[in-house]
Amino acid sequence: MQDLYGWMAWRSHQPAPRDPPSAIHRNEMLRAYGEYLGLAQADERSSMNGYVEDVVPLAEGNYWSLMGMSKALATQSGDRSLRLAETYLRRALELAGDDRGKKNRATERFVEGQIAWRRGDIGTARTLFRESLSIDRDADNPARQALEKLDSSGG
């Protein structure tokens, strides 16, 4: 875990690369790292919590890791994961820049939809999933499956 902490500490203090391929690679690594941290935090009884508690504050400083954490947590069960998903999404949106692209804007709507669904607000969830799909119509958009699942459950 020390290596992971060191990488995140180093990466979170580096300026974003200027060339697009390097920036995309960096952002995807930070997002994947955030997903890992989100899953590690999902269950408060998890033995991973002690390992990630020092690293999470570093991840909270950038949009990409926050979105990874919020997306991973929004799809998990439990009050803790829902609470953290909302917190991380709110922080991510505060840090969001104009350069985040359509897939990321669609992911934001998807995560908002997941949170609304888990809160029992089916109408809002459906609207947010549709907004996500209107932003990004690609087959890999998770809002597509979420909307199908929502519709098949009679919600």
For the segment 37-79, what is each residue's pLDDT rounded down to a tens digit? 998 888 777 766 677 787 888 889 889 999 999 999 999 999 9
DSSP string, 75-118: TS-SHHHHHHHHHHHHHHHHH--GGGHHHHHHHHHHHHHHHHHH
Structural domain boundaries, residue 10: 1-96
* Entry pTM: 0.87
Split into its structural domains, the chain has a count of: 2
For the segment 84-110, what is each residue's pLDDT rounded down to a tens digit? 999 999 999 999 988 788 999 999 999
4 pLDDT tier (thresholds 50, 70, 90): low
87 and 58 belong to one structural domain: yes
69 and 127 belong to one structural domain: no
